[in-house]
Amino acid sequence: MRGHGATRAAGAGNRAGARMGARTGAAALLLAGSLGVGRASAQEPASVGGSEHAFEALEESSGRRTSGPFPFDWQHLVYYPDGADGVELWTAASVHAGRVRGVFEGGWVYRLAMRIELSRDGEVVASDETRIRHVLNLLIPPNVTDGFPLQTRVVVPPGVYDYRIEIQDLNWEGDRSVNAATGELTVPAFSTDRPFVSSVAVAADSGGTWTPAPGVDLKLNAAKMVQTDARPFIYFEVYGLTPGGRFRGDVRLVSTWASRGTGETFDGVRQPFTLQYRATAPEDPDVPVRAVLRLDMENTRPGPYEVQVRVTDASTGLQSDVRRAGVRVREPEDRGGTQPIAEIAPGTGEPGEGGA
Taking a C-beta distance cutoff of 8 angstroms, is the pair 250, 276 a contact?
A: yes
137 touches 341 (CB < 8 A): yes
Which residue, among 125, 119, 116, 71, has the nearest Cα to 90 in the 3D structure?
Answer: 116
pTM, entire model = 0.78
Strand pairing class (103-104; 108-120) = antiparallel
How many angstroms separate the CA atoms of 89 and 156, rounded? 7
Closest by CA position to 33, among listed 13, 18, 48:
13
* Residue 305 to residue 253: CA distance in whole angstroms: 7
Query: Residue 121 contacts by C-beta under 8 Å, 6 or more apart in sequence?
Result: none
Query: Which residues on adjacent β-strands are paired with residue 103?
Result: 109
Residue 25 has a pLDDT of 40
In sequence order, which residues have a C-beta less than 8 Å from that of residue 47 and are 6 or more positions away? 191
What does the domain layout of the chain look like in residue ranges?
1-39+193-336, 41-189
Strands 147-156 and 159-169: unpaired
Strand partners, 235: 201, 292
> Which H or E element spans position 166?
strand 159-169
Q: What angle do CA 123, 124, 127 make, to 5 degrees?
A: 175
**Per residue of the chain (356 residues), what is the pLDDT tens digit?**
333 222 222 333 333 333 333 333 434 444 444 333 323 333 333 444 467 888 888 887 766 677 777 889 999 999 997 655 689 999 999 998 888 999 999 999 999 999 999 999 999 999 999 999 999 999 999 888 788 999 999 999 999 999 999 999 999 887 678 899 999 999 988 877 889 999 999 998 888 889 998 889 998 888 888 887 778 899 999 999 999 999 999 999 888 777 666 666 655 567 677 889 999 999 998 889 999 998 887 778 888 889 999 999 999 999 999 999 998 888 876 555 444 444 444 444 333 444 43
Taken in order 200, 206, 209, 212, the sign of the CA dihedral is positive
Residues 96, 97, 103, 107, Cα dihedral to 10°:
160
* Amino acid 269: pLDDT: 62
Asked: is 1-39+193-336 a CATH 3.30.70.100 domain? The reply is: no
Instruction: Decide if 1-39+193-336 and 41-189 have a common fold.
Output: yes
The architecture that CATH gives domain 41-189 is Sandwich (2.60)
- β-bridge pairing 72-79 and 340-344: unpaired
Q: Nearest to residue 11, comparing CAs of 215, 176, 201, 191? A: 215
pLDDT, position 34: 35
Work out the widest C-alpha separation in the chain, in whole angstroms. Answer: 61
CA dihedral 118, 240, 252, 297 (to 10 degrees): 60
Pairing of β 323-330 and β 225-227: parallel
Element (H, E) at 53: helix 48-61
What is d(CA 124, CA 177) in angstroms, rounded to the nearest whole number? 23
Q: What local confidence, expressed as pLDDT, does residue 333 receive?
A: 66
What is the rounded CA–CA span in Å between residue 320 and residue 193? Answer: 10
How many angstroms separate the Cα of 82 from the Cα of each of 40, 52, 189, 245? Answer: 4, 21, 14, 20
Per-residue model confidence (pLDDT) at position 334 = 57
- Other residues' Cβ atoms within 10 Å of the Cβ of residue 349: 9
Q: Which residues contact residue 60 at a Cβ distance below 8 angstroms, ignoring those fewer than 6 apart? A: none
